[in-house]
Amino acid sequence: MTFDAISIAGSGLSTHRIWLDSLSDNISNINTAVSPNEEAFRQRYVAVQADKNGPGVEVVGALFGDPEGRLVYEPAHPLADENGYVRYPDIDLGEQMSHLILAQRGYAANAGVVDRAKATYEAALQIGRS
Amino acid sequence: MLESVTSAALVSALDGLSARQRAIADNIANVNTPGYKAKRIDFEDALRASVARRDGHVKATGRESLDPTRLDGNNVNLDVETLSNIQAVLSYQFATQAVNGQFSSIRTALRTA
């Protein structure tokens, strides 16, 4: 428990990093086409909750978006079916980018807490010296 | 002198401020957690009353913030939390200096004997 605030901020850092990872996975697969008889790339959502066993935050799992995606008429595409359609994931890039900003800012805020907690603990270690 | 109101009050302040820092770390870690309610730590008013009674021993109390929530049920304000974090850090450093000042007075008193 000695340096609690640092590990609490650490849980926030890793949660936001996992969120950033899943967002970048979603964005990198935004144009991943498959043939219409396969499932589209499923967008990943990170499920989090306040840590049940004390302060901090924890990732409790991943939820996946809809495998339906959207059908696009691209007859020249090598994966197109006989009607000329291919399946793309239905991911909203604007939403992903705004979540990316939230995740990045959340990560930076937690990094700031680590810095300030360190300054406090350093002050505490000076008690009784002089 | 070794167990004066001042040292008791300083210890209470250090405890309260470090509890507040843990609460702020918790709040910022949960800044994007749906349904999370910000935690607040109170001790200043109780400490002031306690010092007036010449006691100085105070336990910090926690509560949930009643601030309005966002659409996801979370009511952490990053600006508020960051500011009170900085304030808590500086107050903590200030209190450690005061503790050191107490100790050096005691040391001076011991030397004059």
* pLDDT, tens digit, 9 for 90 and up, residues A85-113: 999 999 999 999 999 999 999 999 999 99
Please say if the pLDDT value at position A1 is more than 60.
Answer: no
Residues in contact with B54: Cβ distance below 8 Å, sequence separation at least 6, in sequence order: B5
When the pLDDT of each residue in chain B is averaged and rounded to a whole number, the result is: 92
pLDDT digit string, tens, across residues B18-66:
999 999 999 999 999 999 999 999 999 999 999 999 999 999 999 999 9
A4 band by pLDDT with thresholds 50, 70 and 90:
confident
pLDDT of residue A130: 64
pLDDT of residue A32: 93
Residue among B25, B100, B104 whose CB faces A9 most closely = B25
Q: Give the predicted TM-score (pTM) of the model.
A: 0.86
Please say if the pLDDT value at position A2 is more than 70.
Answer: no
pLDDT of residue B3: 77
Please say if the pLDDT value at position B113 is more than 80.
Answer: no
Of the residues A7, A19, A45, A57, the best mutation for testing chain B's interface (the one with the most B CB atoms within 10 Å of its CB) is: A57
pLDDT (mean) for B92-113: 90
pLDDT digit string, tens, across residues A12-54:
999 999 999 999 999 999 999 999 999 999 999 999 999 988 8
| Residue A24, both tokens | 């970048």
pLDDT (mean) for B62-82: 93
Which residues on chain A are in Cβ contact (under 8 Å) with B93?
119-120, 123
Q: Give me Rg for the CA atoms of chain B.
A: 18
Residue among B29, B81, B96 whose CB faces A57 most closely = B29
Question: Is any Cβ of chain A less than 8 angstroms from the Cβ of B19?
Answer: no
Residues in contact with A40: Cβ distance below 8 Å, sequence separation at least 6, in sequence order: A32, A34, A67, A68, A69, A70, A87, A88, A89, A90
pLDDT of residue A54: 84
Residue among B36, B81, B89 whose CB faces A120 most closely = B89
pLDDT of residue A128: 84
| Beta-carbon separation of B96 and A126 below 8 A | yes
The dihedral through the CA atoms of B52, B53, B58, B62 has a sign that is negative
pLDDT of residue A3: 76
| Beta-carbon separation of A117 and B25 below 8 A | yes
* Interfacial A residues in 59-118 facing B (CB < 8 Å): 102-103, 105-106, 109-110, 112-113, 116-117
Please say if the pLDDT value at position A61 is more than 60.
Answer: yes
Of the residues B32, B37, B94, the best mutation for testing chain A's interface (the one with the most A CB atoms within 10 Å of its CB) is: B32
B112 band by pLDDT with thresholds 50, 70 and 90:
confident
pLDDT (mean) for A114-129: 91
pLDDT of residue B1: 54
